[in-house]
Amino acid sequence: MRTIRKQAFAWAMLLAAVLFLPEAWGQISAAKKPSRRSENRISHLKEMESRVFRLINEVRRKKGLPMLDKDEALTATARAHSDDMLRRNFFSHVNPDGLSLKDRLAPVTAATMSRAGENIWSGSGQDYSDSKLLARVIVDSWMSSPGHRANILNPDYTHVGIGIGVMGKEIRATQVFAQIKSRK
């Protein structure tokens, strides 16, 4: 009689495992950390880009300089460079292929531009959920660097594009400044 009970218990356990394991397995697998694919996806922090734009124009206004206009072509160039730095894990004005800002701008605005400059910023492990705070950190770091400050306060620049990207825990920000004559 004991053997029959043990066999019945074993069959019941096996049946329960077969019937309920897929549901439990789905819960376990759903609790895993994000896949490598989602960690390699780049998001553009557009609200932070807007905050950086407002902050640099505030600095320029306080110095009696004309405000910069946003330019979509420059923004696309800035975002593309931030993305490239994230994807290929470098931090430089010149990419691993040897292309500089001048090379990256040539197909976009060369005919209408007489001068250009670029600021870049890199962060790792930053909390980018507070866009107001991080935008201030980025602009303050540029303003404390003589070369970056000179770009922000250059009276000849008329337009700017800002691209801020995040991938995993890495953030890259790029500002592209230009003196644009006219665009037809």
| HSE value, Cβ hemisphere, 13 Å, CA-based, for 147 | 7
* pTM to 2 decimal places: 0.77
Beta bridge partners of 123: 171
SS3 sequence of the chain:
CHHHHHHHHHHHHHHHHHHHHHHHHHHHHHCCCCCHHHHCCCEECHHHHHHHHHHHHHHHHHCCCCCCEECHHHHHHHHHHHHHHHHCCCCCCCCCCCCCHHHHHHHHHHHHEEEEEEEEEEEECCCCCCHHHHHHHHHHHHHCCHHHHHHHCCCCCCEEEEEEEEECCEEEEEEEEEEECCCC
**How does pLDDT run along the chain (184 residues), one tens digit per residue?**
666 666 655 555 444 444 444 433 333 333 334 444 446 799 999 999 999 999 999 999 999 999 999 999 999 999 999 999 999 999 999 999 999 999 998 876 656 778 999 999 999 998 888 889 999 999 999 999 999 999 999 999 999 999 999 999 999 999 999 999 865 4
Q: Distances from the Cα of 90 to the Cαs of 46, 69, 84, 94, 183, in angstroms?
A: 22, 29, 8, 9, 33
Yes or no: say if 90 and 96 are a contact pair by the CB < 8 Å rule: yes
